[in-house]
């Protein structure tokens, strides 16, 4: 412990940082979305904003959010360029970065109205063939299964309508998690398929009681390839930043309980980590 402090002080000095008082450390630059709720926004209302504060607190470093607007390029344009140093939520094993040990695992969920009592367990449920509208995010594993069950084409227009008919050519088109949940709450759609952590807050806030069913992780494409619906989440740092990675791993281990509290408060369905912890399998 003593040794570590010494090393860190030496590092700070080497970097020319004034090693005095509360600002003995440089601020922790966290790559955060300006508006990608419920993960993060400018006001710090996202659950990943809270997780970042917890990390900063544990490291004794003030958190500085460096905000980006286009999630397609934030690693390339921010993390890789050194504008920020930590991404709070990434798939475990994402090859573009170094990822920490997973700090939670969750799944995609079916969201329905409680009153509808739909018999919906998995993608092979008859209900999905019958309902009028299914709200989902294209490019997610849900799209693969929408094709597999033959609902992709007849939901195409609806899928475009959800984003006001914005073309995905030459621009980032955001599917608002809150909107997709409200489609079900309002009765516009019978089912929404979303990443559990992305929808948890809105399901909880909904005036219409909603039911959440975690999608089992046993789905496959026509060619037998697995379509993953459960993912482990890690924090990510730039390749080569081994020291920071080690620190984050320590934070995750030490503050496990507090992290879990934040996630549970958010309403995120938490799944046990498989043993041994599986590396993320690339989906394509």
DSSP-based three-state secondary structure for 265:
helix
Please tell me the distance from the alpha carbon of residue 175 to that of residue 32, in angstroms, as a whole number: 18
Distances in Å between the alpha carbon of 173 and those of 91, 131, 141, 153? Answer: 21, 26, 17, 19
Give the shortest CB-60-to-another protein separation in angstroms: 28
Please tell me the distance from the alpha carbon of residue 254 to that of residue 154, in angstroms, as a whole number: 49
Site for another protein contains 157 (CB under 8 A):
yes
Spacing of C-alpha 208 from chain mean position: 25
Site for another protein contains 20 (CB under 8 A):
no
Give the shortest CB-58-to-another protein separation in angstroms: 23
The residue from 2, 20, 22, 153 that contacts another protein (CB under 8 A) is: 153
Nearer to another protein, 164 or 276 (CB): 164
List 63's β-bridge partners, or say none: 28
Distances in Å between the alpha carbon of 27 and those of 80, 122, 249, 258, 259? Answer: 18, 45, 18, 21, 21
Give the shortest CB-108-to-another protein separation in angstroms: 7
Give the shortest CB-53-to-another protein separation in angstroms: 20
Q: Is 150 exposed, middle or buried (0-12, 13-18, 19+ CB in 10 A)?
A: exposed
Nearer to another protein, 56 or 141 (CB): 141
Q: Among all chains, which residue has been given the structure tokens 């030496």?
A: 10
Site for another protein contains 165 (CB under 8 A):
yes
First to last CA, the chain: 44
List 236's β-bridge partners, or say none: 87, 99
Which parts of 255-284 interact with another protein (CB under 8 A)? 282-284
The residue from 16, 21, 164, 224 that contacts another protein (CB under 8 A) is: 164
Site for another protein contains 73 (CB under 8 A):
yes
Site for another protein contains 154 (CB under 8 A):
yes
Q: Phi then psi for 115, rounded to 5 degrees?
A: -65, -25
Which parts of 183-242 interact with another protein (CB under 8 A)? 195, 197-198, 228-229, 231, 233
The binding track of 77-116 with respect to another protein, each residue x by CB under 8 A or -, is ------------xxx--x-x---------x-x--------
The binding track of 167-186 with respect to another protein, each residue x by CB under 8 A or -, is xxxxxxx-------------
Report how many residues bind another protein under the rule CB under 8 A. 41
Closest CA to 241 of 23, 90, 87: 87
Interface residues with another protein (CB under 8 A) are 71-73, 89-91, 94, 96, 106, 108, 137-141, 150, 153-154, 156-157, 160-161, 164-165, 167-173, 195, 197-198, 228-229, 231, 233, 282-284
């Amino acid at each position: 412990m003593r040794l570590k402090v010494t090393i860190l002080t030496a590092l700070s000095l080497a970097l020319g940082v004034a090693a005095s008082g509360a600002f003995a450390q440089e601020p922790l630059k966290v790559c955060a979305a300006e508006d990608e709720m419920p993960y993060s926004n400018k006001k710090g209302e996202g659950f990943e904003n809270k997780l970042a504060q917890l990390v900063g607190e544990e490291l004794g470093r003030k958190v500085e959010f460096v905000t980006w607007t286009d999630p397609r390029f934030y690693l390339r344009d921010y993390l890789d360029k050194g504008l920020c140093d930590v991404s709070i939520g990434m798939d475990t094993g994402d090859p573009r970065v170094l990822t920490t040990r997973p700090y939670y695992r969750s799944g995609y969920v079916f969201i329905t109205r409680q009153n509808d009592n739909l018999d919906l367990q998995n993608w092979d449920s008859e209900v999905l063939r019958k309902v009028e509208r299914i709200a989902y995010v294209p490019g997610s594993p849900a799209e693969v299964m929408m094709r597999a069950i033959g609902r992709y084409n007849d939901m195409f227009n609806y899928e475009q309508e959800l984003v006001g008919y914005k073309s995905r050519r030459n621009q980032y088109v955001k599917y608002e998690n809150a909107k997709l949940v409200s489609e079900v709450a309002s009765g516009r759609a019978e089912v929404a398929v979303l990443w559990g952590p992305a929808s948890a807050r809105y399901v909880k806030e909904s005036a219409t009681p909603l039911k959440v069913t975690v999608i089992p992780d046993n789905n496959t494409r026509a060619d037998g390839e697995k379509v993953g619906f459960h993912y482990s989440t890690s924090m990510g740092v730039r390749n080569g930043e081994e020291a920071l990675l080690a620190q984050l791993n320590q934070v995750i281990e030490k503050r496990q309980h507090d992290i879990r509290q934040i996630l549970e408060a958010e309403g995120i369905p938490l799944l046990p980590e498989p043993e041994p912890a599986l590396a993320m399998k690339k989906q394509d």
